[in-house]
Structure 1
Amino acid sequence: MPSPQHWLGLLDNELTVENIPSTLNPIKDDLWVAAACVDRVLDDAAVQRVLLETGRERTAAALRRSQATLAALQDEEGAEQLNPSNALTSHFTNLRADAQLCAIRTLILDRLDRLNTYVEICKVPPKGSYDTQDTQDEWEDDPWADDADVQKTAEPPFTLSAFLTNSLLRSARVLALHQWFGALGIMFERHSPHLWPYRLFILDGIPEHAAPLSYVDLLPAVNTTTNLEKVWPSKPWRTEPDWSETPQVRNALPEMALTPDLSPAFAESSAARHDDPLSPDEISQWYKTRIQQIISFTGMIDVALAVVQHAAPQSVPGLDEMGEELSLLARLVYDAPQADDGMDDDWTLDRWSAMDPIAVVRAYLAHSTPDTLAKDIWRLVMPYLFVLESRAERAGNPDPNIQTRILYEYILNVPLETAAAVFEASKPILPKAQRIIQNDEEMARLALACLYGSNSLEDWTTMSQIFECLPAWDISRDDEQEDAADTTIVSLGAYVTPSTTRPHCTASDLLIFFQPLPLSSLSRALDILDVHLESGEILSRWSVPAPLRWFLQSNSDIAEQRAWANRMARRAGGADDKLNTVEDWEWLLEDMLKLTGKGDSGIRGAFGLLSEDEVLRIFLSGLLSTGNFSVAKAVLISPKNKLSLSAEALEDICLSCSREVYDNASSGNYTYGDMKLAYECLDVPPPSERLLKEKEFIEATSRLSSFNVMSAPGIPISPLEIRLTKDRLSLVSRVLSSNNDAYKHTEVILDLVHKLGLGNSVVAQVKTLAMLADTALQAEDFIRAYETSERMIDTVSSLRSSYPELDTPDVQEASEVCWVACYQLGRQPEFDDVDEKLSLLGRALELCRPDKLHDVLVAWRRLENEDIEAREGRLSSRHDGSIRKSNTPNTTTSLRSRLQDFHLPSPPLLNTPDAAALASRTFRSVAANFPFSVTGRGRPSSLQEEERSSRSGSRRRGEGDELASQATRVFSKGIGWLIGDD
């Protein structure tokens, strides 16, 4: 016979439908059997049902006894006087086994209800979560199979044992999390009293990404009759509660009737309870919170929009505007073109709500192409603008221009290629309903603002495309209207010119300017735009593009037009693609002349303020600046030659270009580089005297560079410094001072002077010869110095003979230079040829000013005395003293005769003993007026020392000669002041 020990020895997996009754029925203790039935919780529904049914049967006797006891007491004392709870309490106190059996019965009944629910749950799994039986798999393709007859089962997200022991709230949350919405509906229906207060807590457990269509029946709704939340329909498994579940029984059961192990497994959640139905506003707020969570956690705008769309039939108020926002946002996220990499920004409802309308329009069209832009505007932007207009009307602030205002603002701030797509979709030839911009005048204003507000230098094709889309009005204008329109354009040029208050004029600013213009002015503005676009294309073709607004700014500025014409002529073709053929340059000239003319409308081109002659000059200057002189010559002799310039003008241009290249040259050598270009440029026009002089000057520059003349230590003199040197003879002086042998090449130096532009100046030749003689003197090359001095004397003599009146400036200056040079060489002690020295001093006496005669005479007198003494010394060695004495008067006579040859009377003082001293004092007084110093190493610093030297006589002749020689060499350097040398 089975015993309790046998039951306890059975494992849960060993229990079957058959062995449960055969094991428990023979046991007579109802309490033990009932407790054994609730102690075991199984996952097999059939076995669990038998177990629970067995336990319920064993509690029936206790239930009947309790009911009979209560009925007997009521009969004895009367129903009105008996308190059932007290009676039951007394009964359960006396019969504790019955109390425990009643308590166990309530637990068994609850588990039976849950068991039934679990079985129903298994029949409604979510789509795609169930597994068919093997037999069904075998007949999957059976055409005779009826899908409705196939039993679909699946395992819920929890086991039966867990469902029986856990709280219903927890099980409902698990079903919501795993999206078992059909099962969750069954729980709401079968266990409504337990789950209703926590409905919102359960719904919050549904994943945000879940499709609302699958749980739409679970969402809160509004009962239009009560204007409160619609209450769930309740269908419990048992319409009437068991007697053990009545309140009077529960109140009568003592606390010790239920052990902790037998307590109901239902723990209330700490979540907020909502026992009463919610108001419409509370329901609306829950929906808004749910939508925000969906967007924030998942970014799935379509799911959030579906929630709103399913809430609308549920009569939930306050979601219309949110539905509009979500619908527009969904268009942006799902319908608008996306980036190629798919890495678009995350959109939230808060971010969307914070955007202004123009930002929304830009977001809609951010990835649209010119081919799809028009279509995207119609399907994305226009509905959004319509919603804005409707909202303004609903708010009581109608704004009929809101659509055009926002659309125009977008067009004004997009690239020209994008704007061109809008104008293409707004052509006047299209039906008005199909045009994005439907007003012709507004379209013209927008186009003018976009084009003149653009800084583009390359989109000329796109600009022309926009222009071709604009309307054309056949308007006959009188002169007054044309003048008004032209005045408007002049004002527009001033308007677009940058200023301190408005550094940059935007397209939006220009639209404000064009807004009040009448139709006639707009038509004239379009004509001017046509000319400007053609001019812009020409400038862009030759690599000197200008923004379209430049044509407005330069409309009345001749200096700006001239500057751009020069740029066009000099930069044509770009630095890496210079024009090399005659045809190219003739094409350039043709375009430049086209820019100076007027079109059929009488509107001037980009160079309209320049004359044709000036443009021709600019063109030729630009051609010559490139160094293509062969092309320049070919253009000048071409049969298509349009360079109708005079010979003088052609010569001026070539000279100017040559000098420009010369001034920018870094080297003076004319065999290569810029200097070669400057030289060859002069061969373009026919030869002339001016061109020859300029070429000679370039040759002179090259010659100076070959002498390594320095402007500073280690820095060769530049061609620009040579041209800017006012006294060009100083350049010759620098050549002579920096080259030891340069003075030997007299003809070379004179040729250099000639090519420096001083060839016709006799004074310059004289000064040059004086410098050569002085340099030779410094080198103690007295023979060459004398020869050069003789040539200088001949030049001065020829000059004096050409001018009977000797008081002309040139004669005086040349004579002054000549006598000083002769004086210096003639008084040199190192120069041994006394006759030549006397000849030079004689020339100095002939050419010097009267106030300088005494100075020269002192040197001449001393030289003659020295010559006489030298002769006397020589004669004394040959003859006796008497012969030497007899020769003295003859020498004096010879001196007087020489003075008579110079037409100068011999001063009486020369016959006196103090004649030498008097001459020295006179020379000293004159020398004080010399503008140069004769100080030097060990040489007399003034004529006083020379005077003292002459007074010393023959006793200190040797020492005096040495001092005189040193003083002479120092004094000879003073010639520089006569020729401008530093």
Structure 2
Amino acid sequence: MGMSSDPYTRWSQTPDDELTVDGVREIFHNIPDDLWLAAASIDRCVHDIQVQRVLLQLALERTQLALERVKNLAEEDALVEYFKELPADAQLCHIRSLLLDRLDRLNTYVEVCGEVPEFEEGEEEEKETETDEEWEDDPWAETDTPITKTASPPITLVDFLSNDLMHSAFLLAVHQWFGGLRVLLQRHHAYLWPYRFALLSRIPPHVNPTKYHTLLPSCDIHTNLEQPFQPNDWRIDPDVTESSLARSAILKSDALSAFDSPTNSSPPDIEADTDALSAEQLSLWYHKRAEDIIDITGMVDIAFALIQHGASNNVPNLDELGEELSLLARLVYDAPHGDVRSDEDWTLARWRAMDPPSVVRAYLAHSTPASVSRDIIQLVLPYLFVLESHAERSGKPDPKLPDRLLHDFILHAPLNLVLSIFEASKPTLPAAQRIIKHDADMVQLALAGLYGSDSLHEWTTMSGIFECLPVWEIAADDDEEEAADTTIISLGTYVTPSTTGSKATPSNLLVFFKPLPLSSLSRALDILDVHLESGEIFSRWNVPAPLRWFLRSSSDVAEQRAWANRMARKAGGYGDQLSTQEDWEWLLEDMLKLAGETKIKGAFGLLSRDEIIRIFLSGLMSTGKFDVTKSLLRNSIQLNLDSDTLEDICLACSREFYDNSSSGNYKFGEMKLAYDCLDVPPSSDRLLKEKEFIEATSRLSSFNIMSRPGIPISPIEIRLTKDRLTLVSRVLSSNMDAYKHAEVILDLVYKLGFRDDIVAEVKTLAMLADTALQAEDFTRAFEANQRMIDTVLNLRATLMGLDNPKVREASEVCWVACFQLGRQTEFEDSDKKLVLLGRAIEICPPDRLHDVLTAWRRLEKDSLTARRGRITKDHDGAVKHTKASKSPPETAASSLQARLKEFHMPSPPLLSTPDARALASKTFNTVAANFSFSVGHRGRSQFSSQLSQGGDERSRSGSRRQSDADDVQTQASRVFSKGIGWLIGADEEI
């Protein structure tokens, strides 16, 4: 289909991109209607600049006649009347003003296209290849289209001509077309000037201000006001149709009511600043802009560049902020940083909230020994200079401020950094190059920092710091040396930990060293040298101590002794490294060096040489290396101890092994070490006694004595038992057959420490007899009693009489045991019982003789009766006697007769109203005080049970023959027969 020949139809049917310059000219030439053509021109925008320009120029030519008709009307009323009569001219004038504005914009757009931003190398290519996904979160994006920088403006010609200029200006600001934005501000100054700060706020905060410095506000130093932006309008003289007179007349004529002409959109709803700002307002704007840049991007260098441009534009009150940003920029960009920087988002608010010491620490937070000196010179010292300048400007000069802050950092810095700082401050360096300028300051800082450090292993570093210190050839007098020593003693008290005071810091310690003169400081360095050497020795033997310990222990002998013990014992922690005699000799040599007799005492200066040797031997033997100990004692000339001292050390070490042992078996473990330790010195009675005690402990453990239900008794409990005979009692009570092995039990008693204790032996025999009695093993009970009787009689003969306490105690136990078994009704051997009761009569005290004698007479009477009943006749009628027991031995009878002649027999009041338990309590009162063993309950035999139930006729008939008083006596006898069991704690019921 061909193009229509009608120009109106052809205009409307031709697409924008098909319009050409010649085509527009041809169509417009054939359209006679000026108003229609002008309206059609304003209604259409094309992307081709040349076509758009021809279109606008031809349309303006068609409005020229209307312009000529109205330009001579100078009064508004006349113009209004004219427009009312000829509304077409009013419409043509209105369209002409729009066409002129559009032509101006077209020319502006052409200039904007010529202001292509300059890109850094590779930046344009990078921007052009960015994907939509990479720009999803762009905070400055106005549309969904990703921002890119190309040679074409970020806005098309059609949008530029159709939209409000503010929208176009915003796009140029966001896309960093600063040259085009400057053109826009110059060519359309009257419209855009009030919104200049809104435009600046649309510039991305990460953009370097150097790129848009021509857009930044400046201050006129003469007026103290904002420097106005120089306009460059397209037309100096406005057209008549653009005058306020023409605009007003057109509106009043109502000529546009029937004319739907396109208009620009209204400007955005943003605050306008029509007046120039004051210098103070400009300063506030720069401050806020810089803070926003840092808060949003963290780019301190961009904020600093902005402030620099503001200052160069004569904006006041930016110097201090510039200093802050300069220092903060050094911290952010020049200071070393760690691998993780998530917590290092710096803002001005954070910077201003920090005190100077915190800033210094922040500058050097990630410094290394290799960089710390350079960082101090390049970062810290400029900051300290600024602080000093601020103090001077404020009227409060503080020349000591830089040194004070730097010294405070050094006092609390890691020792490896301190070493680097001291190496950069050596007295041999030129003064201008030294970080610490004064020698006295170096010494004071070193003393306070080292003694205030808690380091336990950096002895090489600490020695390196000491090597950097100055050497003064100063002859100190006694008073100055005393001042230094007094300071050290005072520091020792000050650094001693307490529950009420806080820990002493290096800054606290510096106060002590500040007043000292150089001679006293020199003396303090000599002391420090000794302490460093001692610290290295401690560290070598795995017992490191902080330097402050040497201050604290300098006058505390207990502390030095405790550390010497720790050193001697902790050395065993090296294991095989200290397995040879040479290793231990090295340890002894170091310990003696620490106690050396020098002008400045070492770490063990308050301990004597002999005490050090004793502590060393204790530590050596505590490792169990007894072969090394013996070798050293034989070969080392330094271990010259007397035999008693060596014996004391071995005993103490053995007892320590013993007390820490979990098992009593001396064939392995710590108990074996306790036993073998006693073989180190020559044998002696004390050592043999201790070895026997260990053997006894092992024997006791084999009997499985329980401390608590299910828990075997431990060696330490055995040692802490006050009366060790109770242990024997527990053996007898917990082991059914233990009493049968009398020699084993007696040997156990001897080894428990009672080898020459006759009373303990008697008590043990009494326990054996009582245990056998309760097991109804009367044979062994009688044998134990016989042995006990012989022992007591020998003792009485040896010590000559009853006045001796041991004789009284042994006799008391013996007669009670004899009386107990002799009164036992289940024991049927009357002859033996008579022997026992006879011995009881012989040994018992006078006030108990009547009671024992009464029992003996009753037993003798019963024995005679039983003998008569056994006389029978044989089948021949001959009278025969059955085999009877022997009569009591002559010795017992003789003893009885002797006692009867010796003592007057009082009336027997106890026989009339016997109280068995009171009798036993009174009888055994003296025994109970020392006779503390106890035997557990053993049940009666079947025979004794039958007796108690009346199953035995003989016992029953015998019982019926007793009077009421005899019944009471029988009950007392039964109680008495079990008396020793009750006495030693048996819990059986009587």
TM norm structure 1: 0.87
Q: Which residue of 1 is the match for residue 618 of structure 2? A: 621
Pick which of 796-805 and 677-686 moved more: 796-805
Q: Which of the numbers 148, 151, 154 marks the counterpart of 2:151?
A: 154
Higher mean Cα deviation, 687-696 or 292-301? 292-301
- Partner of residue 112, structure 2: 121
Q: Partner of 2:241 in structure 1?
A: 244
Give 1:491 deviation, angstroms.
Answer: 0.9
Change (3 A) 1:128 1:689: closer
Alignment of 1:692 with 2:688, yes or no, is: yes
Residue aligned with 1:872, SS: helix
Q: Give 5+ residue unaligned stretches, structure 1.
A: 71-82, 132-151, 886-890, 941-948
User: How many pairs were matched up?
Assistant: 929
Instruction: Find the aligned partners of 2:915 and 2:879 in 1 and give their Cα distance.
Output: 37
Deviations 1:482-540 (A, max 9, x none): 22221111111111123455221111111222222222222222211111122122222
Shift in Å, 1:699: 1.2
1:100 is aligned to 91
Q: Would you say the 8 A contact 2:842–2:896 is kept in 1?
A: no
Alignment partners' CA distance in 2, 1:15 and 1:905: 164
Letter in 2 for 1:20: V
Match of 2:646 among 643, 647, 650: 650
Do the aligned partners of residues 282 and 721 (structure 1) sit closer, same or farther apart at CA in structure 2, a change above 3 Å counting?
Answer: closer
* 1:832-863: CA deviation from partner (whole Å, max 9, x where unpaired): 44444433333333333334333333233233
Quote how far apart the aligned CAs of 1:705 are: 2.0
SS state at 2:205 partner: coil
Determine the structure 1 residue equivalent to 2:330: 331
TM-superposed deviation, 1:640: 3.0
Moved more, 474-483 or 315-324: 474-483
- State the structure with more CA Rg: 1
Does the C-alpha gap of structure 1 residues 959 and 744 become closer, same or farther in structure 2, counting only changes over 3 Å?
farther
2:360 is aligned to: 361
Letter in 2 for 1:930: T
Q: Is the 8 A contact 1:596 1:609 kept in 2?
A: yes
Give the whole-Å Cα distance in 2 for the aligned partners of 1:802 and 1:328. 103
Structure 1 position 973 matched with structure 2 position 973: no
Deviates more, 1:868-877 or 1:320-329: 868-877
Residue of structure 1 in register with 2:718 after alignment: 722
Residue 89 (structure 1) aligns with: 80
Cα displacement (A) at 1:655: 0.9
Q: Secondary structure at the match of 1:690?
A: helix
Offset of residue 875 of structure 1: 4.1
**Which stretch of structure 1 is more off in the superposition, 313-322 or 719-728?**
719-728
Structure 2 stretches lacking a partner, 5+ long: 123-148, 929-936, 946-953
Please state if 1:930 is matched with 2:923. yes
Contact 1:308–1:319 (CA<8 Å) still a contact in 2? yes
Do residues 811 (structure 1) and 802 (structure 2) align?
no
Question: Is 2:21 aligned against 1:30?
Answer: no
Offset at 1:39?
2.5
Residue 843 of structure 1, aligned match among 839, 842, 859: 839
* Residues 103 and 257 in structure 1, CA contact (< 8 A), matched pair in contact too: no
Contact 1:730–1:981 (Cα < 8 Å) also in 2: no
Q: Structure 1 pair 98/729, CA: closer, same or farther in 2 (3 Å)?
A: closer
Change in 2 beyond 3 A, CA 1:905/1:84: closer
> Match for 2:416: what amino acid?
E
Residue 226 (structure 2) pairs with residue 235 (structure 1):
no
Change beyond 3 A, Cα 1:16–1:657: same
**1:39-77: per-residue Cα shift (whole Å, max 9, x none)?**
32221111111111111211222222334x64xxxxxxx
Corresponding position: 1:473 with 2:484: no
2:384 paired with 1:385:
yes
Change (3 A) 1:898 1:186: closer
* Equivalent residue in structure 2 for 1:256, among 236, 254, 257: 254
Per the TM alignment, residue 647 of structure 1 is displaced from its structure 2 partner at its CA by 0.3
Letter in 1 for 2:304: L
C-alpha distance in 2, partners of 1:779/1:683? Answer: 42
Change (3 A) 1:264 1:691: same
Amino acid at match of 2:63: T
Question: Which residue of structure 2 lines up, in the alignment, with residue 672 of structure 1?
Answer: 668
Matched residue, 2:310: 311
CA contact (8 A) 1:796 1:815 kept: yes
One-letter code aligned to 1:443:
M
Which residue, 659, 662, 671 being the options, matches 1:663? 659
Moved more, 659-668 or 546-555: 659-668
The equivalent of 2:493 in structure 1 is 494
Contact in 1 for aligned 2:924/2:983 (Cα 8 Å): no
The answer to which of 45-54 and 860-869 deviates more is 860-869
Distance 2:890 2:604 in 1: 83
> Given the superposition, is the C-alpha separation of residues 403 and 856 from structure 1 closer, same or farther in structure 2, using an over 3 Å criterion?
same
Q: What whole-Å deviation, never above 9, does each CA across 1:718-760 have from its counterpart, x for those lacking one?
A: 3233323333333333322332322222222222222122221
Q: Secondary structure at the match of 2:573?
A: coil
| Cα separation, 2, equivalents of 1:162 and 1:456 | 73
Q: Distance in 2 between matches of 1:894 and 1:243?
A: 168
State the AA in 2 paired with 1:177.
Answer: V
Structure-2 change in CA distance of 1:965 and 1:743 (3 Å): farther
| Residue 888 (structure 1) aligns with | none
The alpha-carbon distance between structure 1 residues 954 and 467, as it changes in their structure 2 partners (threshold 3 A), is: closer
Confirm or deny that 1:49 pairs with 2:40.
no
- 1:907: how far off? 11
The residue correspondences of 1:817-896 to structure 2 (distance < 5 A) are 817-875=813-871, 877=873
Q: Distance in 2 between matches of 1:567 and 1:606?
A: 13
Residue number in structure 2 paired with 1:370: 369
Contact 2:841 2:896 in 1 (8 A): no
**More deviation, 664-673/557-566:** 664-673
User: What's the CA shift for 1:24?
Assistant: 1.8
State the partner residue of 1:556: 555
Q: Quick one: distance in 2 between partners of 1:785 and 1:9?
A: 144
Change (3 A) 1:741 1:795: same
Counterpart position of 1:458: 457
Give the superposition deviation at 1:866: 3.1
- Please point out which of 753, 759, 762 is paired with 1:757: 753
Post-superposition CA distance 1:339-388 (Å, at most 9, x none)? 22453521112221222111111111111111101101111111111111
Partner of 1:168: 165
Q: Which amino acid is the alignment partner of residue 45 of structure 1?
A: I
Instruction: Say if 2:443 and 2:521, in contact at 8 Å, map to a contact too.
Output: yes
Amino acid at match of 1:475: I
Aligned counterpart, 1:10: 14
Q: CA deviation at 1:111?
A: 1.9
Q: Following the alignment from structure 1 to structure 2, what is the Cα–Cα distance between the partners of residues 13 and 176?
A: 29
Q: Report deviation, 1:472.
A: 2.0
| SS in structure 2 at match of 1:196 | helix
Q: Does 1:748 align with 2:747?
A: no
For the aligned residue pairs, the C-alpha RMSD in angstroms reads 3.9
How many angstroms apart in 2 are the aligned matches of 1:200 and 1:893?
137
| Amino acid paired to 1:214 | K
Letter in 2 for 1:866: D
